[in-house]
Amino acid sequence: MPQPKEPMKPREPKEYAGREITVSFEARRCLHAAECVHGLPQVFDLARRPWVSPDDAPADQVAEVVRRCPSGALRYRYADGRAEEPGSPASVERTGTGRLVMRGDLVVRTPYGERRETRVTLCGCGATGNRPYCDQSGPCAER
């Protein structure tokens, strides 16, 4: 079994504020599923800086596409303070490579404390440097 790497200290997510919705992005959690860029390319454009422009689509559409992000790297908060509601019941799916894709009202224990989550992809092989989140550095990320 691969040896786990020293865990990375979490960074604050980058926020992209719009008039009706703010999208936050935690780069270390991104697994490049590309749900965002395929779902709303006018909002999520990797060739543009800043790459997220939340005002380029209706806020409800932005929220719907953010909810497709399996890793939880993308999150949203409406201007009135509403945020994503966790799915119920919680679900856990093991991918063919061993990653655990979870949705629901989750508490994830990390080396730096507990985090409340609604969507996560956890490492199934233990080789991640972003414990317990998958960072695609071990065999569970191979396709």
User: What's the confidence (pLDDT) of residue 136?
Assistant: 85
The distance of Cα 101 from the centroid of its chain, to the nearest Å, equals: 11
User: What's the confidence (pLDDT) of residue 10?
Assistant: 64
Task: Quote the CA–CA distance of 141 and 103 in Å, as a whole number.
Answer: 19
- Amino acid code (one letter) for 45: D
Q: Which residues pair with 22 in a beta bridge?
A: 17, 77
Q: Find tokens 């790297």 and name the residue.
A: 73
**Cβ-based neighbour number of residue 23 at 10 Å:** 25
User: What's the confidence (pLDDT) of residue 12?
Assistant: 86
pLDDT in tens, the chain (143 residues): 555 555 566 678 999 999 999 999 999 999 999 999 999 999 999 999 999 999 999 999 999 999 999 999 999 999 999 999 998 999 999 988 889 999 999 999 998 899 999 999 999 888 888 889 998 888 876 65
- Amino acid code (one letter) for 73: A
This prediction's pTM: 0.87
Strands (E), 54-96: 74-78, 91-94
Reported as type and span, the H/E element at residue 88 is none
Task: Quote the CA–CA distance of 126 and 2 in Å, as a whole number.
Answer: 7
| Residues in contact with 49: Cβ distance below 8 Å, sequence separation at least 6, in sequence order | none
